[in-house]
Structure 1
Amino acid sequence: MWKDEILEEIYRIREEHAKSFNYDLQAICDDLRQKQAVSNRQIISQPLKQPSRQHSKSLHPTSTARRNSKFKIQNSNRYTE
């Protein structure tokens, strides 16, 4: 099986770093944030994109119509029984 030497090195470094903090996730994150703060590198963050909730009617014209008619049928049966 083929091994990527660069990935192996990253995994080793990550394991050593986690082990040095006894695998305490809070301590690991605190250390990484502290290193980031003193790195003097420009941090660029973007707000998370919200998923679009609008569906294009042109993409699913028949399935939308079918779903709406099913809903009406189910609801009308519920009230007429």
Structure 2
Amino acid sequence: MQDEIVVEIHQIREEYAKSFNYNLDAIFADLQKQQVESGWEIVKLSPKRNLTKRWSRRSKNSQ
């Protein structure tokens, strides 16, 4: 069984990527442009240390 919404999202994603000839740099630049043009405030949050330690392999090996 296929979900119509998922199929539609995949089609939109494929058309979008194809419009940039599957060039990830061009896609990234376009997404950044859209982000700036949206007028939305961009917020960068610092990583939560407890979650990083909890799920990171590095923390298991270093303990």
The TM-score, its normalising length taken from structure 1, stands at: 0.55
* Offset of residue 48 of structure 1: 2.5
Gaps of 5+ in 1: 55-81
- The alignment partner of 1:38 has SS state of helix
Task: Please say which structure displays the higher CA radius of gyration.
Answer: 1
1:61 alignment counterpart: none
Task: Tell me whether 1:40 sits opposite 2:39 in the alignment.
Answer: yes
Identical counterparts, % of pairs: 45
RMSD: 1.9
Structure with more contact order per residue of length (Cα contacts < 8 Å, sep ≥ 6): 2
Provide the C-alpha distance between the structure 2 equivalents of 1:7 and 1:44, rounded to a whole number of angstroms. Answer: 29
How many equivalent pairs are there? 53
Gaps of 5+ in 2: 54-58
Return the structure number with greater helix share. 2
